[in-house]
Structure 1
Amino acid sequence: MTTATIDICIQDCLDCLRECEICADACLSGETAAMMAECIRLCRDCADLCALCARFSIRKSSLYAEACNACAKACDLCAQECEKHAAHAAHCQSCAEACRRCAKSCREIAQAA
Structure 2
Amino acid sequence: MATMEKCIQDCLDCLRECENCANACLSSDMAQMMAECIRLCGDCADLCALCARFLSRKSSLCSEACLACAKACELCAAECEKHSAHAEHCKTCAEACRRCAQSCREVAHAA
Q: In the alignment, which residue of structure 2 is the partner of 1:94?
A: 92
- Number of residue pairs matched by the alignment: 111
Q: In the alignment, which residue of structure 2 is the partner of 1:83?
A: 81
Structure 2 residue runs without a partner (length 5+): none
TM-score in terms of structure 1 length = 0.98
Supply the distance in 2 between the matched residues of 1:4 and 1:110 (Cα, whole angstroms): 14
Q: What pairs up with 1:25-44 in 2 under 5 angstroms?
A: 25-44=23-42
TM-score in terms of structure 2 length = 0.99
Structure 1 residue runs without a partner (length 5+): none
Supply the distance in 2 between the matched residues of 1:65 and 1:11 (Cα, whole angstroms): 16
Q: What pairs up with 1:51-90 in 2 under 5 angstroms?
A: 51-90=49-88
What's the C-alpha RMSD, in Å, of the aligned pairs?
Answer: 0.3
Cα offsets for 1:43-89 (capped at 9, x unmatched):
00000000000000000000111000000000000000000000000
State the identity %: 77
User: Deviating runs (4+, > 2 A) in structure 1?
Assistant: none
